Chains A and B, each alone.
Chain A
């Protein structure tokens, strides 16, 4: 069964509601991500982006609605961060993807160690694979950075590259990038976008969450726009120019289109 439906969509979210007490954070949210598609999930602060991320990554369940990952229905009663990894969702966060004081090879395998008996880490194997990911998966040819380097020696863009490489190594069906370029310089943003291209080339799917239109526009195949807990637009890139997208979003930001769509 999963054979059949597994390859059309990396993810389907169907009629998802999320309430915190009486406060509605998400209302009737439905969208899907193709198996090799990059979705730009756009919305202002408080629109509900991070609520979506937290549902997808298993931090909390939705109040109602369904979620399919690569065709497998998610059972929210047993869903958590570890399970999300099993389902094939990997997340790259703005600032909590990597342990800063730790060496790179540990960051690749934390929580998913390759071990000898009794839980002792197979360091040689982990370093070998980490090195392989660095060179081949994300094309990290920077001189001086090795798997023994500490994360604190890496630039912001490189850190996101490592997190993306890790996600790809663990056979992610869908990589969630949660505002990965906030607080980065333009040059570093460039690096991150290059890494995201590698996701596409690697045949994987991706949700790129941001409120920076410029990044999102370049990288995405399709835009899902969310405003005050509702999806207000779902547009293919070929159907809208950057300028139009920009002004469309501005209208929402100014509340001019409040409640027009459902």
Chain B
């Protein structure tokens, strides 16, 4: 094999790398513009503390969007599952109460997700509509059950659940950051190495193909929404346990940032392909954006516009470095650098449809 890969072409194949690049550039910019904040570890610890719930939501949503669906109900699941946990914690006087609450919260999430799945897969309601309705419904139920009141959960700090999920490892690293990372690894394997994940990709790509290849499209969709419910409930738990309080409108701010994280990460809005690693970086980009822009000292009137600009830039960079487009980029790069990347173009050629299509020879001729 005379296959020699150019460095750039190899790098482009690493999942999520362009987004990581964007994140690093962004952080570099923050370090330059706000050195007093971004050269100290405190801000990073704070990101590791605040980003994980959004990251977890984003990971679940990555699966959903890969399958060509959408879930708008997850903010309500964050509230509903948080309530389930808080209620058990407050009303059951036993050492195992936090764990029972934890389990009940996950079950509550599964329930919401399962109903979403039934609406979408069995009845055929478009997922955007079904889950929007579901969001209103479950927020309503949560407010009703909670009597509109928040629940203070300060005693939770003395429990093992708190230590395990949101404690500080070695006194500094927030445990939820590791849980977020663990879930990232796990869901990467589910999407890329499990037959369930492969089924999601094919369904998102073309449900008819999935169907004629023997995949039970409806059952897979129900399973998907159920998992999304469980994952969103887990995010709700991380949030509730971290802030020691349940309030009935919690989760409401997550909708758009979480979607932004998924799309910045490179998951296709049209379905069929999703990037779990991209979502990891996307979530941290979104999560550090506001703090970063504020810290740079830009007047507050500008903050939103600058955030929007950075998001757009992230997507543009990601898209232009995406599949197939690397060919052009590598060529350009070669022109810039003279012949230093000499072997680059040869490997890239296969990715150019026009060149590749006409030159095949077949065994039967």
**Least CB distance, B106 to chain A, in whole angstroms:** 20
A134–chain B nearest beta-carbon distance, Å: 10
**A113 CB, nearest partner CB in chain B, Å:** 5
Stretch from B15-23, B149-157, B289-297, B353-361 that touches the partner:
B353-361
Give min CB distance, A97 to chain B, whole Å.
7
Q: How far is the CB of A245 from chain B (nearest CB, A)?
A: 25
Given contacts A97-B212, A144-B350, whether A106 and B201 have CB atoms under 8 Å apart is yes
Question: Complex formed: what's the CA distance from A198 to B364 in Å?
Answer: 8
Distance, CA A12 to CA B323, complexed state (A): 46
A72 at the interface (CB under 8 A from B): no
- Chain B proximity mask over A89-132: 1 for CB below 8 Å, otherwise 0: 00101001111111000100011110100111101000000000
B103 in the interface, Cβ–Cβ < 8 Å? Answer: no
Interface assignment of A257: CB less than 8 Å from any CB of chain B: no
Q: How far is the CA of A158 from the CA of B356 in the complex (A)?
A: 11
- Interface pair A102/B356, CB less than 8 Å apart: no
Q: Does A194 contact B (CB under 8 A)?
A: yes
Question: Which of the residues B198, B212, B214, B355 comes within 8 Å of A121, measured between beta carbons?
Answer: B198
Contact A113 B208 (CB under 8 A): no
Chain A residues with CB under 8 A of B355: 144
Partner of A149, one of B210, B273, B350: B350
A141 with B201: in contact, given A57-B212, A101-B273, A149-B350 (CB under 8 Å)? Answer: no
For residue B256, give the distance in angstroms from its CB to the closest CB of chain A.
26
Q: Is B4 an interface residue when CB atoms closer than 8 A count as contact?
A: no
Say whether A139 contacts B364, CB under 8 Å: yes
Contacts of B215 in A (CB 8 A): 110-111
Q: Which of A101, A119, A139, A149 contacts B363 (CB 8 A)?
A: A139
Judged by DSSP, the binding face of B is: helix
B360 close to A98 (CB less than 8 A): no
Cβ of A140 < 8 Å from any Cβ of B? yes
**Interface check A138, CB cutoff 8 A:** yes
Cβ contacts under 8 Å, A138 to chain B:
362-363
The residue among B198, B212, B349 with the most chain A CB atoms within 10 A of its own CB is B212
The CA of A240 and the CA of B181, in the complex, are separated in Å by 69
Assembly CA distance A255 to B215 (angstroms): 41
How far apart are the CA atoms of A113 and B197 in the complex, in Å?
A: 12
Instruction: Give the size category of B's interface with A.
Output: 35 or more
The reply on B213 being an interface residue by CB < 8 A is yes
Q: How many interface residues does chain A have, given as a range? A: 35 or more
Q: What's the Cα separation between A146 and B347 when bound, in Å?
A: 12
Which residues of B164-199 have CB atoms within 8 Å of chain A's CB atoms? 189, 193-196, 198-199
Distance to closest chain B CB from A148 (angstroms): 9
Q: Would you call B360 and A141 a contact (CB within 8 A)?
A: yes
Chain A residue with the shortest CB-CB distance to B197: A121
Check A119 against B195 for contact (C-beta < 8 Å): yes
Cβ of B212 and Cβ of A93 under 8 Å apart? yes
Residues of A within 8 A of B359 (CB): 142-144
Closest to A113 in B: B195
A85 near B: Cβ within 8 Å? yes
Q: Give CA–CA (A121, B357) in the complex, Å.
A: 30
| Interface status of A253 (Cβ within 8 A of chain B) | no
Within 8 A of A (CB), among B311-364: 323, 349-351, 353, 355-357, 359-364
| A228 CB, min distance to chain B CBs, angstroms | 26
* Chain A residue contacts of B210, Cβ below 8 A: 99, 110-111
Report how far A210 CA is from B48 CA in the complex, Å.
60
When C-beta atoms are compared, the residue in chain B nearest to A155 turns out to be B357
- With both beta carbons as reference points, the residue of chain B lying nearest to A194 in the complex is identified as B364
A102 to B66, CA, bound (A): 12
How far does the alpha carbon of A154 sit from the alpha carbon of B189 in the complex, in Å?
A: 27
Tell me the complex Cα distance, A150–B359, Å. Answer: 17
- In the complex, what residue of chain A is closest to B273 when comparing beta carbons? A101
Known: A96-B208, A110-B202, A142-B356. A150 touches B193 (CB 8 A): no
Please tell me if A81 contacts chain B, counting CB pairs below 8 Å: yes
- Which among A99, A154, A158, A197 is the interface contact of B209 at CB below 8 angstroms? A99
Cα–Cα, bound, A110→B202 (Å): 8
Contact among A111, A141, A154, A191 with B213 in the assembled complex (CB-CB below 8 Å): A111
Tell me if A139 and B206 are in contact (CB < 8 A).
no
B212 touches A144 (CB 8 A): no
Question: Which residue of A is nearest B270, CB measured?
Answer: A101
Given A111-B210, A139-B364, 7 extra CB contacts under 8 A: A81-B214, A112-B214, A121-B194, A140-B360, A141-B361, A141-B363, A142-B361
